[in-house]
Structure 1
Amino acid sequence: MADKRLLVPLSESVTVRQTVGYAVRTAMSESAELHFVVAVPYDGDVPGGQRDVEGGRRLLERALAWANEDADGSCPPIETAMLGRDELLFGPRDYAQAFAAYAEDYDVDRVILDPEFQPGVTAPMLQPLERELEAVSLEYEEARVERPARHERLVGTGSVDRYVATFGISLVFYLILGDPTYWFDLVTGVIVATIVSLTLAQVTFTVPPQKLQSPLRVIRFSLYVPYLVFEIVKANLAISLVILHPRMPIDPKMTRVNARVRSGLPLLALANSITLTPGTLTVRANDQRLVVHTLIASAREDLFEGSLERAIRFVFYGREAAATATPRERGDTEIIGGEES
C-alpha cells in the first residue's frame, strides 16, 4: 500500500505526455500511488450533454501505456477515473471542486498539474484553476516540463472571423436598446461595434467562431433576444417606480456572483445582458466571477436568482444546463459593498 497518492488531471494538451512522465518519476521517487483522471466539461450540443467521453477513455489508456513505458517495468500503482459525467462542469471553480471531492474520497495528498491543462474548453486554464485549488485547500504543484514555442500569426482567417463575429454580436446588442430603422442609431451602432470588435475580438473568442457554431444555438439565441427585451422592459419599470417614489428608495450595493458559464463568449454575453438591464451594471468579469453594481433591491434579487444566467446557459449549453440551481442556492453570491459589507 502506497503511503502517498498523487492526483494527475489529464487533457489533450501539447504537454500531457511530458506531464505523465513527470508524474511517474515523482511517484517512483516518493513511493506514491498515481490517480489519472479526465474531467469532461458539459456541452448541451452533444447528446447526453458531455463532450467526448470516449476520447477521455482513450486518453486514460494512452496515459497508462506511457506510464508503463516510462517506468521500464517498475510502474507505481495507478488508478484511473472519469470525472464530471454526472455533473455540470463549466469552469475552473467546478473543476477544482470536482478534484477536491475526488481527493477527499481517495485521500489524495496533492495534485500534479499539466501547465497546458485544457479540459475540452477553449483555452488553457491553469492559473484560474490554481487559484480555485487554493480556495478549496487542495495542495498542488505544476509539472516541470518544456513547453513548445508558439508561433501564431497576428492576422489570419481565424482573426477575421473573430472580428466579424464580435462586430455582429455588439451591433445586435446595441440595436436592442435603439431603433434599427433610425439612421442615427444604425450609424452609431456600427461605430460602437467597430470599436468593440477592434479592442475585444481576440479576448472574446479563444477559438475561431466557426468552431462554436451550432444550429441549435442559433435557434436558442433567437428565443433569448425577446426574453432579454422583456427583462429590460421589466427592469425599466422597476427603476421608474423607484424614481417616481417621493423618498426615492435606492439601495446601491456592489455584489459578486460566481456564474456557472465558461469564460469567453458565454461570459461576455452574460455580462453584457446584465449591463443592458437597468439597475445592474457589470463592473468586472474575471474567469467565472462577475462584480456587479446593483442600484435597487429588486435588481439585486433578480441577479441572485440568476434568471439571465439560466437563459445564457440555455443558449450555449441547452435545456438541461438551464435547470441547474440558482446562484443564491449554490452559495455563489456575495455583497461586497454597501451597509451590509
Structure 2
Amino acid sequence: MTGTQILVPVRDSVTLRNTVAYAAESAVDAEPGAAPTLHFVYPVSERVTVGDPPEDATELLDRVRAWVAEDLGDNAASIGVETALVGPDEYLFNPGDYADVLGRYAAENDVETVVLDPEFNPSGMTPLLPPLETELERAGLAVEIAPVERPTRRFPLARRAGLGQFAVLFGWAYGFYLLVGGTLSTFDLATGAISGLVVAGLLWRISLSGFVDVSRLAGRLGRLVVYAPFLLWEIAKANFQIAYVVLHPDLPIDPEVVEFDAAVWSELPVTTLANSITLTPGTLTIDVSRRHFTVHALTDGAREDLLGGTLERAVRFVFYGRSAARIPSPAERDADSDDAERPTEGENA
C-alpha cells in the first residue's frame, strides 16, 4: 500500500473489525520516518441527521477508536487517528454521491489512499462497493479492498415442515406443470398430479421456511385478486394526472422527497408497497429501511395521495385482513404525533 494518510469509510458490518486491523497494520508498515494517520469516516445522509449526530454513528466511531488503539499497541503514539462524520448536509443516494464526499474529505486532509471494507454498503440495498471503487479511482485516489475473510453463512438444509408446506408446494408444482403443458387433458392432469407429488415429496422440507397456514394463504390470495384491479385503477388515475401536468402550459410540478414510516411489517408486504408506489406514475420509491420509506413525489397531488395512505391501506388489507385497513394513514399518524408533542395550556403556564 502507498501513502501515509489512509482513509477508511466505516459502517457496521461483519468484516469491519478485521478491516480496521488491516488498516492499522498498513500504517505500522509505513516507510520509516513517515507520520501516518488513519482517517475513519462515517458517511451519513442528510435525511437521518436531525440535530445531534446519530447515536449509532458516534458509537461506532468510538468503537473503531478502541479497536485501532488495541491493534496499534506500542505504535499508538507514532500514528495519528482521526474520526469524522461526512456528508451530514447532503442527500447521499448513489455511489457517485458517496465518492464525492469521500473525495472532498481526502482532498482536505491530503489523503491519497482509501481502504474499503469488503462488506461496506451504507445504502443497504444494491451492492455499492464495485461502483464506489471505480468512482474513487476516477477521483485520483488509490483504492484497496481490505483482504479480510468474510464469515461463511451456513443455514440448515432441511427445516421443520407441516402439511401446509407440502400442500402449497404441490399446488405450485401442479399449476406450473399444467401451465407449461397448455392443456387440461386427462393425461396431463394425471401426470401433473404425479409430478407435483414427487416435487412436493422431495422438496417440502427444503423449499419453504416456516409453517404455512393454508386457509390464511388462501385468504391472502383472494384479497390479492381484489388488489390487482385496484392497483391498475390507481395507476390509470395517476397516468391521467401526470399527463395533465405534462400538457399544462405552466408545467405545475413540485418535486419533493418525502419520508414516512409505513404500517406494514415483514419483507413481502414492504416490498409490495414499495413496488406499488413505484408503479404509480408521479411517485418513485428511492429507499426502504425496514418500515421507513423515502419516496420522490413529482406533484402536490401525488404527495397527498401517497400520505393519504390509499395504497398502504390496500396492501395491509391484502396481508393482514379488513381490520388492518382501518389503521390511520401516514398523514393521520403524523398529525396525531404533532398533537401529542404540542404543549397543553397547563404546560405553557
TM-score (norm 2): 0.48
TM-score (norm 1): 0.49
Please identify the structure whose Cα radius of gyration is greater. Answer: 2
Pick 1 or 2: higher relative contact order, CA cutoff 8 A, min separation 6. Answer: 1
